[in-house]
A and B are shown apart, each in its own frame.
Chain A
C-alpha cells in the first residue's frame, strides 16, 4: 500500500482513490504555470516518503481536471486539501516551508 511516492489523481479516479484510502490523503491542486506550486512539490515528495505509513500524497493537475477543482472550490494554487475518511478535513492555501506544513497537518496524522 505505502509506495512512498505521490500518486497522480484525475477527475475520473478522484473519488475512488479518496474513498478507498486507508490513511489520510493530502491532495495538491497544482498547475504547470504556477511558481509557488513548484516550491511545495519537493516538500510533498519528501512527506510521501517520510510519512509513507500515515499519509498519502495525491497530485491533481487543475488544468486537466477542472471539474474536481471546481467541486472543491479551489480558486488559488497551490491549494492542499487533506481528506480523512473521504471527507475534507483541512485546507491549506499557498506554498510554505516544510516545518510550517507539518505543524498544520500533525493533528490529523
Chain B
C-alpha cells in the first residue's frame, strides 16, 4: 500500500527546505524526498553543499558556510514537523489524484507514495564538459568539487573552465592553494558579477585564456594537460595543468517530469500564475524553474511562494469537497 501524504516536496535545497518550513508550520506535515548522496551538486542540500562562504544571504553579516546554512534550514523544517527520506523519486504520475510517486524500483504496480499535492524543487546540477577523458580522470585531477579537492592542488597549476560567478568563485578559492589558476572562457570577457570580476583581476595567481574551449584532457593516470581550441580560428594547443575544474553552467533536474510537466526547450519548468505548473496541485520552485536569478535567496523566496500556493490550493480542495458532501 502506498503511503499517503498531504504534501510531498521533491528536493532539499533552499527552495525545497523553505517550502518544508512553511508547509510544516501550516500543519501539512510535509515529507521531503531530499535526494541521494553524491559528490556533485545533485545531493541533499543541493548546490550550496559544495560551496564554502555564502556572503550574500541576508542575516549573516560575516557570511555563513553553505553546508552550515543548509543544515540550519533542515533543522528548522524538522522542528516544525517536516520529515525527510534520503532518497530520490524514480518515477512520478501526475495524471491521477492523489499524485503517485515511486522510490526505488519504478516498475512496480503500486507507487511508494501518494500525495494530494507536490512541490517540485529538484534544482539544477552543474554541467560537465562531456569528454571521455574527463570521466576517465575524475578523481585523478578532474574534480566536481573545488571545496573538497582544492587542498590536493597545493603549489600545482589548475585550470578552471567557465566565465560566470561560479567559475570565478572556484578560481579564487583554488588560488589559496594552487601556484597558478588559469580561467579558460569561450568569450572575450567574464559574465561574473562586478565584485567577483574585481577580485579576479586583482588576484595575482589568476590568469585568463579568452575565446578558448577545453576539447580534451591529457594524461595516463592523472591530468597532465588540457587541449584548448581557439573558438575563432579553430587552432588547437596544449596547456600543461595538474587539475581541471569545470563551471560552465547548469541543467535543471527535470528528466523525471518529461511528458507530464510543461518545460522550456532547455528543460526548465514553466510556472505561473505563482508557482503553479500546468498540472493543478503540482507546484515548482527554485532553480528547477529559474535560469535567470539562481540565487539561494531567490530559491528560498520561491519556495515560500510554492508553500503558500500549495496551502491555499489544498484549502480550496477541502472547501469544494465539503460543499459537495
In this assembly, does B26 line the interface, its C-beta being within 8 Å of a C-beta of chain A?
Answer: no
Q: A74-B152, A77-B149 are in contact. Are A38 and B221 (CB under 8 A)?
A: no
A-side contacts of B38, CB under 8 Å: 36, 39, 94-96
B-side contacts of A69, CB under 8 Å: 152
A34 to B145, CA, bound (A): 9
Contact with A along B215-237 (1 / 0, CB 8 A): 00000011000000000000000
In this assembly, does A79 line the interface, its C-beta being within 8 Å of a C-beta of chain B?
Answer: yes
Q: Across the interface, do A34 and B243 meet the contact criterion of CB distance under 8 Å?
A: no
Contact with B39, one of A31, A73, A93, A97 (Cβ below 8 angstroms) = A93
Q: A73-B221, A77-B148 are in contact. Are A36 and B138 (CB under 8 A)?
A: no
Q: Across the interface, do B49 and A36 meet the contact criterion of CB distance under 8 Å?
A: yes
A95 to B152, CA, bound (A): 18
Q: Across the interface, do A40 and B37 meet the contact criterion of CB distance under 8 Å?
A: yes
A34 to B180, CA, bound (A): 22
A69 to B139, CA, bound (A): 13
Contact with B149, one of A38, A39, A76, A97 (Cβ below 8 angstroms) = A76
Contact with A75, one of B50, B144, B243 (Cβ below 8 angstroms) = B243
A32 to B181, CA, bound (A): 24
A97 to B36, CA, bound (A): 6
Contact with A along B39-54 (1 / 0, CB 8 A): 1100111000110100
Contacts of B162-210 to chain A: CB distance below 8 A: none
In this assembly, does A60 line the interface, its C-beta being within 8 Å of a C-beta of chain B?
Answer: no
Summarize B's interface: helix, strand, loop or mixed: loop
Q: Across the interface, do A33 and B138 meet the contact criterion of CB distance under 8 Å?
A: no
B-side contacts of A73, CB under 8 Å: 140, 221-222
User: How many residues of chain B have a CB within 8 Å of chain A?
Assistant: 30
B-side contacts of A62, CB under 8 Å: 151-152
In this assembly, does B67 line the interface, its C-beta being within 8 Å of a C-beta of chain A?
Answer: yes
In this assembly, does B141 line the interface, its C-beta being within 8 Å of a C-beta of chain A?
Answer: yes
B-side contacts of A78, CB under 8 Å: 39, 148
- Minimum C-beta distance from B11 to chain A (A): 15
A-side contacts of B143, CB under 8 Å: 75-76
In this assembly, does B317 line the interface, its C-beta being within 8 Å of a C-beta of chain A?
Answer: no
- Minimum C-beta distance from B12 to chain A (A): 12
Q: A35-B50, A39-B44 are in contact. Are A76 and B37 (CB under 8 A)?
A: no
Q: Across the interface, do B37 and A43 meet the contact criterion of CB distance under 8 Å?
A: yes
Contact with B along A57-87 (1 / 0, CB 8 A): 0000011000001000111111100000000
Q: Across the interface, do A95 and B67 meet the contact criterion of CB distance under 8 Å?
A: no
In this assembly, does A26 line the interface, its C-beta being within 8 Å of a C-beta of chain B?
Answer: no
Q: A34-B145, A73-B221, A76-B152 are in contact. Are A39 and B140 (CB under 8 A)?
A: no
B-side contacts of A35, CB under 8 Å: 45, 49-50, 66-67, 145, 147-148
In this assembly, does A37 line the interface, its C-beta being within 8 Å of a C-beta of chain B?
Answer: yes
Q: Across the interface, do A36 and B39 meet the contact criterion of CB distance under 8 Å?
A: yes
B-side contacts of A36, CB under 8 Å: 37-39, 43, 49-50, 145, 148
A74 to B37, CA, bound (A): 20
| B residues with CB within 8 A of A | 36-40, 43-45, 49-50, 52, 66-67, 86, 138-141, 143-145, 147-149, 151-153, 221-222, 243
In the complex, besides A36-B38, A40-B37, 12 extra interface pairs with C-beta distance below 8 angstroms are A31-B151, A35-B49, A35-B50, A36-B37, A37-B148, A62-B151, A75-B139, A77-B149, A78-B148, A94-B40, A96-B36, A96-B38
